Structure 1
Amino acid sequence: MLFAFLCNDKPDSLQLRLDTRTAHLDYLNGLGDQLKFAGPFLGDDTKPNGSLVIVDSVDLEAAKQIAANDPYAKAGLFASVDIRPWNWAIKNPDNK
C-alpha cells in the first residue's frame, strides 16, 4: 500500500534542512524499492519549505515508523507531518 508523507518545515528552518540533507537523502535511498518518489515543496522564494515522500508500506503503522526515522524528522525540521494512504492512478510505472 502506498502512503504519502506531506511534511511542512518549521519557520526559519532552512539551515537545519541544509545541514541534515545528506543524511536525509542517504536514508531515503536506503529504503530501496520501498521509496517510490520524493522531493521538496518550494516556497514563493523557490527555497525548500517541506517535503513530499511516497513510500510503499505494509500498513499505516509501518509508514509512520519510516517517517519517524527520517533524519529530517529526528532533527525536528517538520512543524507537521500528515501521512495518508495514496493511490497512484495516473502514470504509475507499475501499472503497465
Structure 2
Amino acid sequence: MIWAIYCTDVPESRPLRDEHRLAHRAYLKLYAERIFFSGPLWDDACYDQIGSLFLIDLNGRPEAEAFLAEEPYTVNGVFASIRVTPMTKGHFSAGLSGDKRERPAAV
C-alpha cells in the first residue's frame, strides 16, 4: 500500500533543515526501492522549503510510523506537523517529473 506522508516544517526551519539534510538523504536511501515519490514542499515564492512529501510503499500504519520515528527531520524537530494517510495510484504522468532539482526557479 502506498502511504502519503505530508509534513510541514516549524517556522524558520531552514538552519535546522540544512543541518540535518545529509542524514535525511542517507536515511531515504535505505528506502529507495520503496519510495514512489518524495520531495520538498516550497513556499509560494519557491524560496523556502516548508515541508516534505513522501509517497512510500509500506505495510500498514505501524510501518509508516516506524519510518517517521527514525527519519532525521522528525527526530531533530524540523517537522511541526505530520499527516499520514493510505492512498492508491490514480493517474500518473512520468513526463511531468522532469529533472531532479534542489530548488525550483523563484517566482
Aligned sequence identity (%)? 32
Q: Aligned pair count?
A: 93
TM-score (norm 2): 0.81
- Per-residue deviation, 1:5: 0.6
Map of 1:37 onto structure 2? 37
CA contact (8 A) 1:27 1:71 kept: yes
Could you list the runs of 4 or more consecutive aligned residues of structure 1 that deviate by over 3 angstroms after TM superposition?
Answer: none
- Per-residue deviation, 1:33: 1.1
Return the letter of the residue paired with 1:21: R
Map of 2:57 onto structure 1? 56
In structure 2, the gaps of 5 or more residues are 95-107
TM-score (norm 1): 0.90
In structure 1, the gaps of 5 or more residues are none
Aligned-residue Cα RMSD (Å) equals 1.4
- Per-residue deviation, 1:92: 7.3
| 1:47-74 per-position Cα deviation (integer Å, ceiling 9, x unaligned) | 1110001110111111111012100000
